[in-house]
Structures are given as structure tokens and as C-alpha cells.
Amino acid sequence: MLSLVDKTAVVKRLRRVEGQIKGIQKMVEEDKYCGDILIQIAAARSALNSAGGLILENYMKTCMKDYSSGLAEDEELDKLVEVMLKYTKQN
């Protein structure tokens, strides 16, 4: 679960991404220069990665600290590795 401060920061970043995506859609509809569209796509990707990074940091700091040593910790670390692999996978 995200703290109020983290949640606010993530929502702010996601709203920025939403605005960027709407701007990109408009650029495509208006036949803007492809290079400019690609730059905006890269900026939106970066903002989305930033939001994901905050959530991942929160997961590592808060969700995992509740586990003590033993099997539960190993299982939680396995989950973390799985999440990180999925998060960093480039399509």
C-alpha cells in the first residue's frame, strides 16, 4: 500500500503521462513531424517509468519489510524478482 505522499506523487506523474498521451494523439491526428512525435513518446515513457519506479521503491521498502527471516522471506524475494523482471521487460 502506498503512503499518502507516495500516492500523490504517483498520481501526479500518471496525470502527466495521460496529458502527454493525449498530446501525442493530437499530434498524430494533425500529421505533425514524426521526430517530434517520437520525442513526446519517449517523454511519456520516461514519466511512466518514473511512476513505476516510485511504486517499486515503495514495494521494496514497505511491503517486504514485514517479512522476517525464513521461508516467507525467500518467497517474498522470489515475488520481488518476478515483479522486477516483468517491470523491466521491454516490448
Which DSSP string do the residues of 43-87 spell out, in sequence order?
Answer: HHHHHHHHHHHHHHHHIIIIITTT--SSHHHHHHHHHHHHHHHHH
Give the pLDDT mean for 35-63. Answer: 89
Written out in words, the top-level CATH class of the domain with range 4-88 is mainly alpha
Locate 4 and state its grid cell: 499518502
Locate 44 and state its grid cell: 511519456
What is the value of pTM for the model shown?
0.74
Residue linked to cell 498521451: 21
Is residue 70 over pLDDT 80? Answer: no
CA distance 54 to 67: 21
Is residue 68 over pLDDT 60? Answer: no
